[in-house]
Amino acid sequence: MSVTTDTRPLDVLTDFPAIPAGWAYLDTAATSQKPRPVLDAINRGYGETYATVHRGVYQRSADMTLAFEAARERVAQFIGGQPNETIFVRGATEGINLVAQCWAGTQLRPGDRILLSTLEHHSNIVPWQMVAEKVGAEIDVIPLTADHRIDLDAMAAMITPAHKLVALAHVSNVLGSVLDARRATEIAHSVGARILLDGCQAVPRLPVNVAEIGCDFYVFSGHKLYGPTGIGVLWGKAELLDAMPPYQGGGSMIDRVTFARTTYAPPPGRFEAGTPHIVGVLGLHAAMDYVEGIGLDRIHAHETALVTQAREALGQINSVRLFGPDDSAGIVSFAVEGVHPHDVATILDEGSVAIRAGHHCAQPLMDALGVPATARASFGVYNGADDIAALVKGIERVTRIFG
C-alpha cells in the first residue's frame, strides 16, 4: 500500500540543514536534528560573544553571565519551575544520577523501597540499583497495562509507606506511551513518597508544567529537544535541593573554602561544579525559543497525526506487529515477523529511511514484550507523510526480501 499525501504540516524542514532531500530521518527519539537558530546560537557562542561565566569582571564575561542566567530563566519558564530550582547538567542521565546520589543516597534507609516501572530507560533503572545497593533499599516494578502503559491502578495497589521514591518515564522512549503524570504524582504523594519524572521524550513532544504536575524532580536532555548534546536539566523543588549535599566538588559550587572547612553555595550553584557547558546552555535557550515558536500543542498534534498514519499503514501489513498504545506520542515500535529488527533497519537504510533497531536501553521492557529488540520509528517537527510513505515502502521491501 502507499500513503499518498506529501504534507509536512509544520513546514520547517528547510530550517534543518542536516536533513537532505529524500532522507526520512525517523530517529528523533534517539536525538533530534538541529535547526539553524540553534546552530547560529552555538556559532555566536563560540564566536564573537565567547567568554567564561560567573568569574570575569570584564564586560564580555559579564555579558556572557547574563546570557547564561537568562537561559536558566528561560528553561524554568519553559517547564513551569523557578530559576533557583533549575540545574544545568550534562543530560537526563546525569540528572537522575545526581538525585540518586544526593537525595536518595542521603535520605533512604535500609528497608526503604524505590518504585520504578517495566518500561524505564536504563538511565532510570541503574542509578537506583546502585544507590539501593549502597543504602540497603529494595526496588519494586510497576507492570504495564495490556496496551503497554504504566499501570497506575497497579501502582496504587502496590505502593506502601515504605516506598520513599518513585521514578517514572513521562513518555516511553520505546513505545511512546504517555504517563498520566498528575495521577502518578498523587499516588506517590499519598504515601509520602517523592517522585522523579524522566521527561526526555516528553519535553520535545508535549507542553510540560512541573507546577501543574506537582512532581518533585524532573529531568531532560537538550539534544532531544533540538538543542546541543552535553547539556540537560534537572529541576527539583527548592526545599529538596536546599537540603541536598553537593554532587561534585570544585570551583563555582562553594561559598568559602579554607583547609579547615568549606561551605557550599546555595542551589543551583551548589550542583554545578566547574566551568559549565556555556555554549550548550545558549544552544538550549535557542532550541526552546524555536520549539515554542512552533508551539508544543501544534507539535504534539502533528506527531500524534504521524503516529496514527504510521500505525494504520503498518498495521495493514500482515507480518508487522505493533507495540504500544494507539495514541503514543511521536514514537512507534514494531516487529516484522521472522526478521531481526537490525535487518529491518539495514534494508530501510538502503532506501534512505533512518530508524533505530535494538533494545533502546530498555532491556527489562524487551523481556516483558517477549522480544530481543524492536524496530522504532520516531518523529519530530521536520517529518511528514512522505517519510511515512518511505517507511511503509521500505517495510514492504523487507517483507518481499524475506518472503
Going through 106-182 in order, the beta strands assigned E by DSSP cover 113-117, 138-142, 163-169
Q: Closest Cα partner for 237 from 100, 86, 61?
A: 86
Which position among 198, 216, 303, 387 is part of the footprint of ligand PMP (CB under 6 A)? 198
Minimal distance in Å, beta carbon 155 to ligand PMP? 18
Binding-residue total with ligand PMP (CB under 6 A): 13
Binding characters for ligand PMP, 254-293, by CB under 6 A (x = yes): ----------------------------------------
Amino acid at 343: D
Of 86 and 201, CB closest to ligand PMP? 201
> Which one among 28, 123, 177, 333 touches ligand PMP, defined by CB under 6 A?
123
Cα 288 off chain centre by:
14
Q: By CB under 6 A, which span of 152-160, 198-206, 209-217, 269-277 interacts with ligand PMP?
A: 198-206
Distance CA 306, CA 302 (A): 6
Residue 173 in contact with ligand PMP, rule: CB under 6 A: yes
Please give the Cα distance from 363 to 118 (Å, whole number).
Answer: 9
Contacts of 50 by beta carbon, 8 Å cutoff, 6+ apart: 60, 64, 279
Decide: helix, strand or coil at residue 220: strand
> Which among 52-60, 118-126, 154-162, 373-381 is the span making contact with ligand PMP, rule CB under 6 A?
118-126
Q: Cα(26)–Cα(387) distance, rounded to whole angstroms? A: 8
Cell of 160: 506502601
Closest of 314, 336, 361 to residue 31, by C-alpha: 361
Residue 56's φ and ψ, nearest 5 degrees, are -70, 145
Find the shortest distance in angstroms from Cβ 93 to ligand PMP: 3
Q: Is 93 in the site for ligand PMP (CB under 6 A)?
A: yes
Stretch that binds ligand PMP, among 117-125, 126-134, 136-144, 350-358 (CB under 6 A): 117-125
Cβ distance to ligand PMP smaller for residue 173 or 304: 173
Binding-site member from 116, 137, 169, 335 for ligand PMP (CB under 6 A)? 169
**φ/ψ of residue 208, rounded to 5:** -120, 135
Which residue lies nearer to ligand PMP by CB, 156 or 361? 361
Q: Which member of 92, 125, 241, 357 binds ligand PMP (CB under 6 A)?
A: 92
Residue 189 in contact with residue 161, Cβ under 8 Å? no
Stretch that binds ligand PMP, among 73-81, 108-116, 139-147, 196-204 (CB under 6 A): 196-204
Which listed residue (28, 86, 201, 328) binds ligand PMP by CB under 6 A?
A: 201
Which residue in this structure is represented by grid cell 540543514? 17
| Closest distance to ligand PMP from the beta carbon of 319 (Å) | 27
- Residue located via cell numbers 529488527: 341
Among 34, 72, 121, 270, binds ligand PMP (CB under 6 A): 121
Q: Can you tell me whether residue 349 is helix, strand or coil? A: helix
The CA distances from residue 358 to 45, 89, 146, 363, in Å, are: 36, 27, 22, 9
User: Considering the rule CB under 6 A, would residue 117 count as an interface residue with ligand PMP?
Assistant: no
Among residue numbers 68 through 87, which ones bind ligand PMP (CB under 6 A)? none
Quote the cell numbers at residue 172: 516511553
Is residue 102 part of the annotated active site? The answer reads: no
Is 200 a binding residue for ligand PMP by CB under 6 A? The answer is: yes
Give CA–CA dist 348/258, Å, rounded.
60
Nearest alpha-carbon partner for 142 in 118, 170, 112: 118
Q: Give yes or no for residue 221 binding ligand PMP (CB under 6 A).
A: yes
> Stretches 47-55, 120-128, 142-150, 371-379: which one binds ligand PMP (CB under 6 A)?
120-128
What residues are annotated to the active site?
Answer: 361
Binding site for ligand PMP (CB under 6 A): 91-93, 121, 123-124, 169, 173, 198, 200-201, 221, 361
